[in-house]
Structure 1
Amino acid sequence: MRIELVKGVNLNIIPSKQFKTTRIFISFIKSIESKKELAERALLANYLEMCSQNYPTQIDIARKLSQMYGASFGSSVDRRGNYQLINFSIDYIESKYLVGNEDLLSGVIEFLKEIIFNPLKVGENKNFDEETFTRQKNNTIT
């Protein structure tokens, strides 16, 4: 199944009968020109995982994942040769195991779109949240 998240960004879902959960894995691949760019993209991935406009705290994200029957979400950064990948993944339970066969897919897609394309920006200049950004910067450095 292929879903266009935004123009030019497609999500491919490959179903499996082997597991009771479904994993959606999204990668953004870019060639890296400098170590600074590598660090900036790693910091960006960490920041996006922690907050968004509709989920401004980690607690808000945890609550939303709990509402989706304990879905598991995370981001990671990989390097392959001269390319860096920012990855987002989410695991959620198959609809057939839920009462009434509730379909979580649309909610999961909306959650991913929110996290990836709607980062938490505050203030007059709409900058990243300074406290969260600094915490993630310190976590990335150590």
Structure 2
Amino acid sequence: MMSEWMDLKTYHDHVAIMRLLSDCMYADEEAILRELVEYQRMESRQLYGKSDAGELIGLIGIEHHSECVAELRHIAVRSDYRRYGIGRDMLMNYIKDSKIQILKAETDQDAVHFYEKVGFDIVSLGEKYPGIERFQCVFYAKQ
């Protein structure tokens, strides 16, 4: 089904990237553009995507804190490609290719089950924002 795993820092279609970022950020266009610029500007951040027939269908945004510890900042799959394991595959391929040992993420109630299924350890952070429970998710790569 999918044809490519690509570095989005140099990808030409910023609108497609911003559309996917908006799916996981729930922010206004200005904030999404700022985040895209940060990915392009910062060496510690990486933005990768999957395509199908030349169209961007998913992305993951990673920030490295050290050689072996990274944070998953963004993950999104286009709605018509969800439930095919693309998000899981992007994460597992990144972990394997990067050789990181620990991948951390923070999420909400809507996405916590995805992280559990992928194999992350989950700890509730409690109600971090009024009425919104957040979760710390940590994946320990097997060496």
Structure 2-normalised TM-score? 0.25
Structure 1-normalised TM-score? 0.25
> Of Structure 1 and Structure 2, which has the larger fraction of its residues in strand?
2
Higher relative contact order (CA 8 A, sep 6+): 1
